[in-house]
Amino acid sequence: MPIEPIMLDSNGAHLSAELRLPEGGGRPRYPAVIVCHGLASCKESHASFAEFLAGQGFAALTFDWRGHGASEGALDGDTLDDVGAALSYLYTRREVDASRIAIRGSSMGSYLALLAAIRYPALRAVVAICPASSEILAQVIGNKEFWLSMDRAAGLRVRVTLPGFQHFLALHDESKAVTGLAPRPLLLIHGQRDEHVPYQHSETLYALAGEPKRLWLLPEATHRDAQHDPVVHAETVHWLRQALPET
């Protein structure tokens, strides 16, 4: 699938991003999905899902959060602006149906996707895979061992503004955000063998969310399995087609 490298401007921070469009045309405008990676990850980790989306008739925009991958800056109090930059870019593309844009995140990406959907009503549906909590994220970035592991890991880099991002986490509770999503559809996916975020967190979010909503628990999946699973890809696209109906 052809990949179009792009650069997003998030209030002065340049973000590395990629856009994939379906080949061959055939549709006036495509529904789109903004794909968000997790902490200490990058857009390339979700390339398989973006490729699958494009093959199924969706525009897919992946990007590196500030402080990650090839993007500038650091995670801070303005991190949600990165989603705004992705949205603004999609609005400029004639191939994209601006009324049918969803967001899909994994781990920290899910946490931020839930918050972004409250800030940006143009996000018409949310897919949250193993969503992290603000509490867990605060514990991770405050843990010396996490930063030592970053030093040891080849190719893994993350930059965080402290205490700015910690203050952001303290002010933004995903449990409160999820109550404001309805009537926009929410799909929660969580592995029951998740070693980082207990699957019960998704159960809690599901109970708080309004309709329409779906919770899909995967009995054998760990924290990173679902984001790469072809079966999950296919079911997610099936759900997105229902969540983003043609008008």
CATH number at residue 190: 3.40.50.1820
Q: What is the pLDDT of residue 121?
A: 97
Query: Please, are residues 119 and 184 in contact by the beta-carbon 8 Å criterion?
Result: no
Rounded-to-integer distance, Cα 132 and Cα 121, Å: 22
Using DSSP's 3-state secondary structure scheme, residue 109 falls into helix
Q: What is the pLDDT of residue 148?
A: 81
Residue 220 structural domain: 3-243
**Number of domains the chain is built from:** 1
pTM: 0.96
Query: Please, are residues 77 and 167 in contact by the beta-carbon 8 Å criterion?
Result: yes
Query: Please, are residues 224 and 190 in contact by the beta-carbon 8 Å criterion?
Result: no
Identify the bridge partners of residue 20 per DSSP, sorted by sequence position.
3, 60
Spell out the per-residue pLDDT of the chain, length 247, in tens: 689 999 999 999 999 999 999 987 666 899 999 999 999 999 999 999 999 999 999 999 999 999 999 999 999 999 999 999 999 999 999 999 999 999 999 999 999 999 999 999 999 999 999 999 999 999 999 888 887 877 666 666 789 999 999 999 999 999 999 999 999 999 999 999 999 999 999 999 999 999 999 999 999 999 999 999 999 999 999 999 999 998 7
Rounded-to-integer distance, Cα 21 and Cα 29, Å: 10
